[in-house]
A and B are shown apart, each in its own frame.
Chain A
Amino acid sequence: MRINKWKMIKWIVGLIVAFLIASPILWIVLSSFKTADQILIPRLWSDSWTFRHYRELFTDTPYLMALQASLKLALGTTAAALLIVISASYAVYRMEFPGKKLVQKIMLITYVFPGILLIVPVYDTMSRIGMTDRLMSIVIMNVTFIAPFCVWLMRGFFKAVPITLDESAALDGAGSFRILFSIILPLLKPGIATVAIYSFIMSWTEFTFSSMLLSSEVNRTLPITMNAIMGQYTVRWGQTAAGGVLTLLPVILLFAFVGKYFIKGLTEGAIKE
């Protein structure tokens, strides 16, 4: 009796949550296939459907260029974040050194200053060193906002690797670098995957700094191009909806392949393998 009641509740809550998550996305996907005269009628279905918005998106807008820029940016961010996060978290979670507390405090401080106000000084600095309109500048800013959280993420993964492993390796005469590369890194694979996917997605969705620092067409990422399609003075609903879907689609595809590992990494990282 009792179990059935809880099971019922579970299903009901599950369906509500599933509806909550999925319906807005379903709405934009459906809208993107509606013809221009149907798209603004507030109902789920349409009398006529079209691929025109997608065709226009490919022929009339720099969608493919933006996709390329977004991919470059996301992969660049991921690579940089991985290098920095893994080395820093190894030091923070595996070694004792004076000033460790300070390192952790500095990481927390990055969250305290309103990011929005950094825009002007960051722009100033970037333009002084000739970094505006370079994807590299966004890579730099992305890593700043991603790294502290990722270091924290790695904590569980490092904890899962017994410290005795390091010690016995050290007893065998292995240096710290060898311990890191040949013993610990392979065991950290799920953590590394998690950090990589996290960085990729954060970079994919980043808007504020990209819109400020990137200007030329080849460097504009998908969210920025998307925002431009909406445009000043007039909104092209069909193209905007299609653009929204195609901004989302690449990460959905990526997630179809690696999503499992991301969630697994996040949820099972803390358990010893």
Chain B
Amino acid sequence: MNTQSIKNPSGHGEWRNWVLPYILVAPLMIWLIATILIPVVTVVYESVTSATFVGTVGDFVGFKNYVSVLKDPHYWAAWRNSIGWIVGCTILQTILGFSLALLLNSSTGRLGQFARTWSIVAWITPTVVVSLIWRWIFNGSYGIFNAFLMTIGVISEPLSLLGHPNTALMTAIFINVWRWFAFTAVILLAGLSTIPKELYESASVDGAGIMQKFFSITMPSLQNVTFALVIVGTLWCFNIFDQIWLLTLGGPLNATTTVPVYLYRGAFESFQIGRTAAASVITALLLLLLAAGLIKLTQPKD
């Protein structure tokens, strides 16, 4: 840590200075404990009971639920979808986000300013509206996407992008990335604008090309930002539920049933609160492992 503690040389603030940081972080900590930790404890408790639907109290069943979840092929299928979802979202988001960030970084003037502000408009659109728009656009009969492709003769029959198991997940990924990539771009832009111009200039003097500059200067300088984006971004992405649910309900034939959708189905459609609680505990542990792994992998070497 490069910050230093503040010593009060006059001496009579010692006690206050010692307790002050705790006072300052207390609201956030209490807040998080009340809204996350207490519910989590409830979930852990429910995971060893036979509770069926919300509001019921089950009997103690030990680790039966855990065994049942670990043996459930649907649970692991949901993980497979989730990993596809995370990888797809991350890759597409990074490509589009980087492209947009580099574009914005090199755009100046009124147009550049305008583009910087309004490129993020998809991100300020509520998920309900995002789903409405895209379901409408991709609809085979009254959506403009298929109508356009058919007019120019690329396809002869409408594509069922959200309705076919091979394309549904990819389409959902695309729609999610549509909403998020500009936000990613702006965060990357923050990193980009910290890179001193002189670095590029001296590299140009040395005869470095655009690609070379990108890999030898841009990428390493963004370590800190990409680190946060990868960790937080991955976890965020994993836990996205409403976007998928509003688009496909996890279908067709479970093609877009990611782990959060699986959990929702288990708790609220199959009414197996106890078993689903066990599944969420397992999921949280696996996520923790995943996060630790990612931290190890991407942590910037200071």
Stretch from A46-54, A55-63, A170-178 at the B interface: A170-178
A-B contacts, 28 of them at CB < 8 A, read A17-B96, A17-B100, A18-B119, A25-B122, A84-B31, A96-B3, A96-B4, A96-B21, A103-B28, A103-B29, A107-B28, A112-B287, A114-B238, A114-B259, A115-B241, A115-B260, A118-B39, A170-B8, A173-B10, A179-B6, A204-B124, A205-B124, A207-B242, A226-B128, A263-B117, A263-B186, A266-B187, A268-B190
Specify the chain B residue showing the minimal Cβ separation from A103: B25
Contact of B9 with A by CB under 8 A: yes
Cα A125 to Cα B264 in complex, Å, equals: 19
Instruction: Report the number of A-B residue pairs with Cβ-Cβ less than 8 Å.
Output: 284
Specify the chain B residue showing the minimal Cβ separation from A180: B24
Which residues of the partner chain A approach B5 to less than 8 Å between Cβ atoms? Answer: 95-97
Specify the chain B residue showing the minimal Cβ separation from A176: B20
B24 touches A87 (CB 8 A): yes
Which residues of the partner chain A approach B118 to less than 8 Å between Cβ atoms? Answer: 21, 255, 259
Which residues of the partner chain B approach A167 to less than 8 Å between Cβ atoms? Answer: 4, 6
B99 touches A13 (CB 8 A): yes
Q: Mark A87-109, 1 if CB is under 8 A from B, else 0.
A: 11011111111011001001111
Give the contacting residue for A21; candidates B3, B119, B236; CB below 8 A: B119
Which residues of the partner chain A approach B264 to less than 8 Å between Cβ atoms? Answer: 116
Contact of B202 with A by CB under 8 A: no
Which residues of the partner chain B approach A226 to less than 8 Å between Cβ atoms? Answer: 126, 128-129
Apart from the given pairs A116-B263, A120-B267, 14 other A-B contacts in the complex at a CB distance below 8 Å: A10-B106, A21-B178, A25-B125, A42-B147, A106-B33, A112-B287, A113-B40, A117-B276, A125-B42, A144-B32, A148-B32, A166-B6, A255-B118, A267-B116
Cα A100 to Cα B141 in complex, Å, equals: 57
Which residues of the partner chain B approach A122 to less than 8 Å between Cβ atoms? Answer: 35, 39
Name the distance in Å between B136's Cβ and chain A's nearest Cβ.
Answer: 7
B146 touches A42 (CB 8 A): yes
A112 touches B235 (CB 8 A): yes
Cα A178 to Cα B126 in complex, Å, equals: 40
B239 touches A87 (CB 8 A): no
Contact of A192 with B by CB under 8 A: no
Which residues of the partner chain A approach B284 to less than 8 Å between Cβ atoms? Answer: 112-114
Most chain A CB within 10 A, of B117, B146, B236, B280, is at B117
Name the distance in Å between B125's Cβ and chain A's nearest Cβ.
Answer: 6
Contact of A73 with B by CB under 8 A: no
B235 touches A244 (CB 8 A): no
Cα A263 to Cα B115 in complex, Å, equals: 10
Which residues of the partner chain A approach B8 to less than 8 Å between Cβ atoms? Answer: 170, 175-176
B144 touches A42 (CB 8 A): yes
A244 touches B129 (CB 8 A): yes
Contact of A110 with B by CB under 8 A: yes
Specify the chain A residue showing the minimal Cβ separation from B130: A24
Name the distance in Å between A242's Cβ and chain B's nearest Cβ.
Answer: 11
Which residues of the partner chain B approach A240 to less than 8 Å between Cβ atoms? Answer: 132
Cα A56 to Cα B268 in complex, Å, equals: 34
B126 touches A204 (CB 8 A): yes
Contact of B205 with A by CB under 8 A: no
B28 touches A147 (CB 8 A): yes
Contact of B159 with A by CB under 8 A: no
